[in-house]
Amino acid sequence: MSYESSSATQYISAKHKVFFMLTLTLMSTAGLIGSDVYLPTLPTIGQFFGKTPSAMQFTLAIYLLGLALGQLLLGPLTDRYGRKILLLIGMLLYFSASIGCAFSGSYEQMLTWRFVQALGAASGLVIGRAIVGDLFDIKEAGKVFSSIFPFVGMSPAISPVIGGYLGFYLGWQSTFIFVALFAIVTMLLAFFFVPETLTEGKKQRLHLLKIFSSYPKLFCQKKFIAYASTPCIAYIAYFGYIAESPFIFHNYGYSEKAIGTFYISLSITYVAGNLLGKKLLNFLSLDKSLLLGYGIFNLGGVFLILSSLFHAKLVFMIIGVSIITFGNGFLIPQGTAGVISTFSKTAGYASGLLGFLQLGAASLSSSFVNRLSEGSISKLAVYLFCTTLIGAAIFLFFNREKKPYAQMV
C-alpha cells in the first residue's frame, strides 16, 4: 500500500515503512489474538475448572470488557503523554498477563489475568488508531485501515487453527504462551520502528473534568454515532457467534482441531470484503461504501434466518455467518476511519470511546448470547438476523444529515 503523504513521510523513513505497517498490523491484531486463539479449547478449559459453557463464555466477556475499559482510559492518556511509551508499557502488561493466564490455578485467577491481559492488548488497538489519525486524512485513513484490516481479519481463521493444534497436542495452557510470544515480538517491533507521532504542540492537558465532558460531547455528535455504531454492530454479530459456536460444534462431536478450522471461511470472506471495500473507495464516498457493506451484512442475516427456518445443515450456518463477515470487511475498517478522521483533533479520545463502545458491545454480546440462544442454531440465527437489521437502521437514521459537522474542540 502506498501512503506517500507529507504528514506520513515526515515521521517514517522509506526503509522503515514496511516494518511500520507490519507493527501497526500486529498492534491492531493484538486484541483479537487474545480473544480468538483459545476458542477451540474453551470446552476443555471448562472441564479443567469444572465450569459451565456460560461461565467459560464469561472469560471471553471479561476480556472484551477489559479491552473496552482499557481503550477508554488510554484514549486521553495517549493524547497527553504520547503514543510510543504507553504502547510499550501496554505490550509488556499484555505479555505478563498472558503468562499469568497460562499458569492460572483456578477459574477466578483466570478471570483476573484475562482482564489484565485485555488492558495490555488495548494499547495496541487505541494507539494504533490514534497514530493513523495523526498521519492521514479521512480517505487515506480509510485506505490504511483497509490495508491493515485484511491481515487483522485473518486472525479469526489463523488463531483458532493455531489454538486448536496447540491445545490438542500441548494442552490449553500453550495457547496463552503463544499470545505471550506475540506480545514480545510486537513490543520489540514497536520499540525500533514506531516513531512518536504526537507532537508537543498537539499534546493535551489531562483534566478529569475534560475527560468526563469530552466523551459525552463526542457521543452526542450524530456523525460519531453513525460511524461508531457500525463497528459496534459488526462486533456484536461476530463475537456473539464465536462465543456460542465452539459449544455448538462441540455438541456435534467435533475436536479442538476440527473446531479451529470452522473459522477459516469467516476470515476469507472478511479479507475479501476488506479488499473490495478498499478498491471501491477509489470510486465511492466512504458513506456509500458503508451502505453497500450494510446491504451485504443484511443479506447474510436473511440467509441465516432462512437456513434456520428450513432446518438446513450446520454448513449453512457457517455460510450465512461468512456472508455477514464479508459485510464486516466493509463496516469495521471504514466505520473506524469515519470516526478517527472526522474527529482527528481529538483522535485519542475518539479512538478510546470507539474502542470502549465496540468492545463493550462485544462483551455484552458474548456474555448473554448463550442465555438467549441456549445452544440452539435457530435461536442464534434469530439473534444475528436482528443484529443486522438494527445496525442498518441506526446508521441510516443518524447519517441522514448531510451538512458538514464541526469537529469537537
Q: Which CATH number characterizes residue 23's domain?
A: 1.20.1250.20
Q: What average pLDDT score do residues 286-307 get? A: 90
The per-residue pLDDT for 355 is: 75
**Which tens digits make up the pLDDT trace of 56-89?**
888 988 998 888 888 778 877 877 777 888 999 9
Number of domain units in the chain = 1
Lowest mean pLDDT among 28-37, 99-108, 192-201: 192-201
The per-residue pLDDT for 373 is: 74
Roughly what angle, to the nearest 10 degrees, separates helices 222-251 and 208-219? Answer: 80
The per-residue pLDDT for 326 is: 93
Question: Which long-range contacts link 321-324 to residues 24+ away (Cβ below 8 Å)?
Answer: 321/241, 321/266, 321/384, 322/265, 322/266, 322/268, 322/269, 323/269, 323/296, 323/299, 324/237, 324/238, 324/297, 324/300, 324/384, 324/388
The per-residue pLDDT for 107 is: 93
Side chain identity at 63, as an amino acid letter? Y
Q: What average pLDDT score do residues 289-306 get? A: 90
Q: Is 204 helix (H, G, I), strand (E, B) or coil?
A: coil
pLDDT band at 156 (very low <50, low <70, confident <90, very high): low
Quick check: 403 pLDDT over 70?
no
Per-position b or e across 103-136, b if 16+ CB within 10 A of its CB: ebeebeebbbbbbbbbbbbbbbbbbbbbbbbbbb
Q: Rounded distance, CA 68 to CA 56, Å?
A: 19
Quick check: 94 pLDDT over 70?
yes
Backbone angles phi, psi at 106, to 5 degrees: -150, 165
Residue 94: inside a domain: yes
Quick check: 233 pLDDT over 90?
yes
Q: Rounded distance, CA 303 to CA 308, Å?
A: 9
Residue 214: inside a domain: yes
Taking the complete model, does pTM exceed 0.85, yes or no? no
Q: Which domain holds residue 365?
A: 13-197+206-398
Listing DSSP states for 28-45 in one string gives: HHHHHHHHHTTGGGHHHH
Residue 251: inside a domain: yes
Q: What average pLDDT score do residues 130-138 get? A: 74
Residue 407: inside a domain: no
Residue 63: inside a domain: yes
Residue 3: inside a domain: no
Residue 7: inside a domain: no
**Percent of the chain with pLDDT strictly greater than 90:** 21
Cβ-proximal residues to 280 (8 Å cutoff; 6+ apart), any chain? 289, 292
pLDDT band at 407 (very low <50, low <70, confident <90, very high): very low
Residue 6: inside a domain: no
